[in-house]
Structure 1
Amino acid sequence: MSRKRKALVSGASIAGPTVAYWLDRHGFDVTVVERADALRSGGYAIDIRGTAIDAVDRMGMLPELHEAHIRTRHWRFRGPRGVIASIPMEDITGGIAGRDVEIPRGVLAEILYARTRDNIPYRFNDCIVAMNEDRDGIDVTFRSGLEERYDVVIAADGLHSTTREQAFGPESQFSSYLGCCFIGFTAPNSFGFDHELNIYNVPGLAAGAYETGAERMNCLFAYRRPEPASSEYADLDGVRRDIRARYAGQGWIIPELLDAMDAADDLYFDSMMQIHMPKWSSGRVAVVGDAAYGPSFFSGQGTSTAIAGAYVLAGELAAHDSHQGAFDAYDREARKFIEDNQATAYGGSDLMVPPTRLKLWKRNRMMNLAPILTRLGMMRQEERDINSSLKLKDYTPLTKAQAAA
């Protein structure tokens, strides 16, 4: 009887549990390690559409995801003078009503964890500190002091992946700044928002708020900045002061959102980045999800590319005896899909945070014409095609009896 191949997955958000699920189904001995001391439950709403819908359907998760669907119906674009346009969500995102799913990131993480925790050990409050490989395997040392040997390591620990840095080098080699910084948080939905995303713009600034259920809303400030944020943003109090200065005097509900930001205990701040890597593997280490190709939420495809990429990576590892052959096939199979989705972020940044008065005027004009453009089939059709451009292979998983043998 041949030995089960051992895989270590670093990261327990979306890509990590997804690739772990499929590796387990394909007969691998899988372990997930996560730096945080528990599953991270927060986060903004994420979209699953196109190819990723096929992937989660193959996992049997689609009914459960539809139950958690937020069902945002409209995007309302606002300015200092009030509502500019109200557009059906699918006309903006390139999604398909009734098929695509929008749920809180934390809910998806919990669903994936529930699907995998009985078969796959999760090691929270630990992380990889060293890796040394030879022709037969890779030795991993953990922060806890544990040392173990694996056949492959999968880095799925996010945009600022420390596992990727150990295997490939500094993040600066691969990160591409998209010209914006953002801060997100949750707050009580004291404004009665009902299945709608509200976006307020003046040139170079955006503020957003949308209902997430349970009388809560997700809030966002995003703004143009020539360079990514650096040491001046080392503490969140400094971020709060900067946001208040940038948004001083703005209308709509900006004063209330600023107060909610000050009261929030779940602030998340970052520069808007993409990761571009010429190769998604180095020796016995491969990257997936945001660690490999995070397209940013300007694309709306971060979660979908993570899910689709994880499916392909696990499938190719199952289909190949050689890890290098599997990693090369993963790259060939998924790269065009990933890069095409990354490219949509540039249009998304002009949609969400137009940098100039002219671009804001053009965006608003397009939104006013959206009903006509939709009827003519000219609204976001390219995004729909890109979202679904990867056709998943059938990497037939083992039955439970085969996997246990």
Structure 2
Amino acid sequence: MNGNVLISGASIAGPALAYWLGRHGFNPTVVELAPTLRKGGHAVDFRGETHLTVLERMGLLPELRRIQTGGSPMRFVDEAGRTLLHLPAEFAGGEIEVLREDLARVLYERSLPHTEYIFGDSITGLAETASGVRVAFRSGASRDFDLVIGADGLHSNVRRLAFGPEQDYVSHLGYYAAAWQLPGGGYPGPAKGSVGHNAPGRLASAGADHRDPAQAGAFFVFAAPELSYDRHEPEQQKKLIADAFRGLGWEVPRLLASLEQAPDLYFDSISRADVGTWSTGRVCLVGDAACGATIGGMGTGTAMVAAYVLAGELALARGEHRTAFTRYESRLRKYAKGCQAGGGRAGRFLAPATATGLRLRNTLLSRPLFLNGMLKLGERVSSTMALPDYPGDPGRVGDEGRGLQ
């Protein structure tokens, strides 16, 4: 029962869930608004036993280790370029760091044999019936599915349609983040990692491309109350960034000049999603849609764990969604909330609001004992959940594909 599952979102959580559902004998379909797999994006990392166990059970560890970036060291400098703080690669890169687009590609390829992918379309309506969900698509098509899963990020379309408006679930955490590609040549930093300059409540940084050191990207963070702007109007967003960083020294004027010609701009608030119950009827949320944070919430690792648990509980319940959704949330909520808490600290770490806060951050993290303590804390937080075993897991001989029998 309930074998046909529609998943919204083809970034990380969606393809990971599709992989496990296919392994358990379900028929997953993934719909993605973008015309192809999304390119670009920053590196993402995995750390701690829980993350690595999920990767191992998927058989991904050898491939991810082959394509890993090796980590991204971070250097903070004053206006003259003198180093104030240096953070090693493992601080941001965990035990395995890969580019988001590489991870998305690997998950897509692993899930593809058992998954239908629909690119260039999105869900516009959900109507639950006695036996399933009638789904309307932007293309004009409509189809019936047994279950619908929102794996479409912090600004989830499925959550909006099934649970209510975004403002009911997403909280602004006091900062905004922007990223764009820099033109080749003249990158003001090392061949690996990033270099940044702070003023109170602001960070301007640039980082080398992991594949081509001649290419680089800018990453800016600034403190601000919730702003009103059109998410689909990059010129509005560029003006907000330029206004926030006007008057800063170091390389900031040159980086802002490059923003004018940037073909692709990422701009978003640093926010957190809090959903009281992750399912309603035959619709369920996974990853950032349920319990995400824009930066610093270990969202990628949590999404992989959540996909594994949701698919496993559906298999264990033989597709009975009420039981499966309840068990999934019961197992995962405390773990996901613990990981998500880092998102509330991300803006304050990257761009402390005061000069005193900046000096304190630089002083404390320059001490090896304090730095090592922070690294160990991150590993502990990401490893607080013992993964359950499910039908179809490696080592359970003869169980593969038995989820719906």
> TM-score scaled by structure 1?
0.91
Residue 193 (str. 1) matches residue 190 (str. 2): yes
Equivalent in the alignment of 1:89 = 89
Q: CA deviation at 1:386?
A: 0.4
- Matched-pair contact (CA < 8 Å) for 2:221–2:347: no
Write the distance in 2 (CA, Å) between the matches of 1:349 and 1:396: 41
Q: CA deviation at 1:232?
A: 6.5
SS of residue matched to 1:17: helix
Equivalent in the alignment of 1:174 = 169
How high is the sequence identity, in percent, across the aligned residues?
Answer: 37
Residue among 105, 111, 115 paired with 1:116: 111
Specify the code of the residue in structure 2 equivalent to 1:113: Y
- Matched-pair contact (CA < 8 Å) for 1:17–1:112: yes
Cα deviation digits, residues 302-342 of structure 1 (max 9, x gap): 11111111111111111114201111111111111111111
Equivalent in the alignment of 1:373 = 370
Aligned-residue Cα RMSD (Å) equals 2.2
Q: CA deviation at 1:349?
A: 2.2
Equivalent in the alignment of 1:333 = 331
Cα deviation digits, residues 255-306 of structure 1 (max 9, x gap): 232222222212111111110011110000000111111122133x111111
Equivalent in the alignment of 2:378 = 383
- Matched-pair contact (CA < 8 Å) for 2:391–2:400: no
Write the distance in 2 (CA, Å) between the matches of 1:31 and 1:272: 30
Change (3 A) 1:337 1:403: closer
Equivalent in the alignment of 1:230 = 228
Equivalent in the alignment of 1:354 = 352
Equivalent in the alignment of 2:395 = none
Change (3 A) 1:328 1:239: same
Residue among 81, 94, 101 paired with 2:96: 101
Cα deviation digits, residues 50-100 of structure 1 (max 9, x gap): 32222122111111111221113522122324210212233x3493xxxx2
SS of residue matched to 2:220: strand
Residue 320 (str. 1) matches residue 317 (str. 2): yes
- Matched-pair contact (CA < 8 Å) for 2:32–2:119: yes
Specify the code of the residue in structure 2 equivalent to 1:356: T
- Matched-pair contact (CA < 8 Å) for 1:341–1:386: yes
- Matched-pair contact (CA < 8 Å) for 2:316–2:390: yes
- Matched-pair contact (CA < 8 Å) for 1:203–1:355: yes
Equivalent in the alignment of 1:259 = 257
Specify the code of the residue in structure 2 equivalent to 1:83: T
- Matched-pair contact (CA < 8 Å) for 1:55–1:307: yes
Change (3 A) 1:139 1:67: same
Equivalent in the alignment of 2:79 = 80
Equivalent in the alignment of 1:58 = 57
Residue 309 (str. 1) matches residue 306 (str. 2): yes
Residue among 24, 29, 37 paired with 2:35: 37
Write the distance in 2 (CA, Å) between the matches of 1:320 and 1:126: 31
Change (3 A) 1:402 1:394: closer
- Matched-pair contact (CA < 8 Å) for 1:74–1:88: yes
Q: CA deviation at 1:205?
A: 0.4
Change (3 A) 1:313 1:233: closer
Q: CA deviation at 1:179?
A: 0.4
Cα deviation digits, residues 372-393 of structure 1 (max 9, x gap): 435xx53332222001112111
Change (3 A) 1:148 1:193: same
Change (3 A) 1:9 1:85: same
> TM-score scaled by structure 2?
0.91
**Structure 1: segments with no counterpart, 5+ residues:** none
Q: CA deviation at 1:399?
A: 6.0
Specify the code of the residue in structure 2 equivalent to 1:354: P
Write the distance in 2 (CA, Å) between the matches of 1:130 and 1:345: 31
- Matched-pair contact (CA < 8 Å) for 1:4–1:29: no
SS of residue matched to 1:378: helix
- Equivalent pairs counted in the alignment come to 393
Q: CA deviation at 1:400?
A: 6.3
Write the distance in 2 (CA, Å) between the matches of 1:320 and 1:403: 8
Write the distance in 1 (CA, Å) between the matches of 2:52 and 2:199: 35
- Matched-pair contact (CA < 8 Å) for 1:47–1:102: yes
Specify the code of the residue in structure 2 equivalent to 1:65: L
Cα deviation digits, residues 199-235 of structure 1 (max 9, x gap): 32110100122222223223211100022x2137762
What aligned pairs does 1:228-307 form with structure 2 within 5 A after superposition?
229-231=227-229, 235-299=233-297, 301-307=298-304
SS of residue matched to 2:374: coil
Write the distance in 1 (CA, Å) between the matches of 2:232 and 2:131: 42
Cα deviation digits, residues 113-141 of structure 1 (max 9, x gap): 11122321101112222222233222222
Of residues 335-344 and 183-192 in structure 1, the stretch that sits farther from structure 2 once superposed is 183-192
Write the distance in 1 (CA, Å) between the matches of 2:55 and 2:128: 33
**Structure 2: segments with no counterpart, 5+ residues:** 393-397
